[in-house]
Structure 1
Amino acid sequence: MPEARPNVHRRRLGSALRSLRRAAGLSMEEAADRLALSGKPTLSKIENGKQRVQGLALTAFLEVYGVREEATRQAIKAMATLAASGRRTSLLDEYREAVVTEGFEEYLHLEELACATEGYLTVVPGLLQTEDYALSIVERSQVWPSRREVARFVELRMARQAALTRETPLTFACILDEAALRRVVGGRAVMKAQLERLLEVTEQRNNVDVRVLPFDVGAHASSDGPFQLLHFSAGPPVVVIEGKTRSVYLEEAGDVDRYRSALDSLTEQTLPADQTRRFISDLIKDCYS
């Protein structure tokens, strides 16, 4: 079986299988022998997320490790389904040349598999941006060296927005810093259209929730920067921290708990959804009429 580049879900499946093996009291050598694997190195690759586990092989793992509880069996199978999805997505196939920052390929993969995402952001999130706003943000980032690459990345960002309207739509929630609403990006006409877009989406789609974090809350739990939590049908969330040249993915329970706590604290300080829409509407009237 070919070795695969590990991704988040394959690593998680491997870790879960390792825990089940240890709970069964089996050494790697004993488990590899009972599973009829080629040896300890093969099992090591599986447990480290470097080798895929096929459906029949997964059943063998569950049987050899004595997993009888149906809830556990179903949870492992759900993790295996996510792990088997690989790293390739239809968007990545089409826009591969636009993916230039380290780790963004992983982000596309995770976003496609996520059932929900939430976080604190300091610019309007990509899934809610207008094309003109996105163009201004991407151009000013100085990451993409040519106009063609800028244009293609903006196209990719627009294509990603289909996640909000797919058959099983992504549940999207974000806390948006007031600065993101007041900073005039791309000029007055572009910013007005962006604010109107936020009103439109939050009023029309019940899977989208945007809350503003007002300036007057002062210091808060994420003064050090934005982050997102991506949730999946199986396994715990992943924390994503995006940077200019690379993204960081945090999977350890302690890290996820800290960001979960920060998000809960921020939520307590935000304006409710209806007041946020009123805030945006008043901003349009006061600044763009």
Structure 2
Amino acid sequence: MTQAKDVDPYVSPRSFYGAELRRLREENRLSQEQLGERVFCSGAYIGQFEAAKRRPQQDMSRLLDGVLGSGEHLQRLCRLAQESKHPEYFADAAELEKEALTISAYTPMLIPGLLQTEAYARGITRAAQPFAADEVVERHVSVRLERARRLDDRSGPELWAIVHEAALRVVVDEPSVMREQLEQLAEQAHDHHRVMVQVLPFAAGPPPLMHGTAIIMTFADAPAVVYTESAHSGQLIDEPALVTRFQKSYDLVRAAALSPKASLSLIASAAKDYTTP
């Protein structure tokens, strides 16, 4: 884990929050583990805040202020540090995505955000927000494409994406957009050394994770987390027992999905369907 002492406190509001948390903790002569015990989390979790790796939370800041005797100092800093270009419900997951070693995603109706083309991202954003101004839509698309570029970084995560066959068949915007999206998906599945794609066919029946998107992220120095999402809302889950249940459900989905080779053939076939009048 990046040590808090390596972080410049004046780089961002989040860095300043981390520096202040560390200062207050050390003034109280508490280790990260000792402070974590008092606010019902791990020492590693405290370390992520101090190293500016995790977005501060109001509830946690309230507990920390209480234990450290800092009034509402951390709560006020938290409001500044929570600013994000992502929707509020996804902001924490987006930050953790940057640190993930592996990402295992199951998406029942859409191509995963990290694998979307610009036109596809624009189409689903416009479908979800039909009355939004063009600049709002374009901002969402830009942020999504920025996230996707993370896969090409040397330090980027390994992505294992399981896509339901429905995502290949639901036409987003128009056939040409779908053809481009599926051709790119097939190319990534075939050529990208850190991307694995499987398709869960209709014939597999109801999957264990049929109620919405589920994304499992693992890290080098922190426990795994799960992000679940439905329309206009999302939830980050880090309770170990519940994360384990999601991991088991994901394994069942993976077992029911087509092999990577058969999945690639189905994706390529679906792409050709969008070229046929």
Q: Normalising by structure 2, what TM-score?
A: 0.72
Superposition map of 1:225-236 within 5 A:
225-236=212-223
CA contact (8 A) 1:82 1:113 kept: no
Letter of the structure 1 residue corresponding to residue 256 of structure 2: Q
Once the two structures are TM-superposed, the CA of residue 171 in structure 1 deviates from its matched residue by 0.5
Identity of aligned residues (%): 28
* 1:268 to 2:255 alignment: yes
* 1:37 to 2:28 alignment: yes
Once the two structures are TM-superposed, the CA of residue 146 in structure 1 deviates from its matched residue by 2.1
Aligned residues: CA RMSD: 3.3
Distance 1:86 1:124 in 2: 27
CA contact (8 A) 1:79 1:234 kept: no
2:107 pairs with 98, 103, 121, which one?
121
Superposition map of 1:15-164 within 5 A:
37=28, 44=35, 47-48=38-39, 80=47, 84-87=51-54, 98-99=85-86, 101-122=87-108, 123-142=110-129, 145-164=132-151
1:184 pairs with 155, 161, 171, which one?
171
Structure 2 unaligned regions, length at least 5 = 1-8, 56-82
SS in 2 for 1:288: coil
SS in 2 for 1:276: helix
SS in 1 for 2:155: coil
How many residues of Structure 1 are paired with residues of Structure 2 in the alignment? 227
In structure 2, do the counterparts of structure 1 residues 198 and 46 end up closer, same or farther at CA, with 3 Å as the change threshold? same
Once the two structures are TM-superposed, the CA of residue 223 in structure 1 deviates from its matched residue by 1.9
Letter of the structure 1 residue corresponding to residue 91 of structure 2: E
> Which residue does 2:209 correspond to in 1?
222
Distance 1:267 1:45 in 2: 35
SS in 1 for 2:208: coil
Residue deviations 1:141-184, cap 9 Å, x none?
Answer: 12883221110110011111121011222100111000001111
Letter of the structure 2 residue corresponding to residue 190 of structure 1: V
Letter of the structure 1 residue corresponding to residue 52 of structure 2: S
Structure 1 unaligned regions, length at least 5 = 15-31, 51-74, 89-95
* 1:170 to 2:137 alignment: no
SS in 1 for 2:176: helix
* 1:200 to 2:183 alignment: no
Distance 1:226 1:185 in 2: 18
> Which residue does 1:250 correspond to in 2?
237
SS in 1 for 2:163: strand
Distance 1:49 1:159 in 2: 34
Q: Normalising by structure 1, what TM-score?
A: 0.69
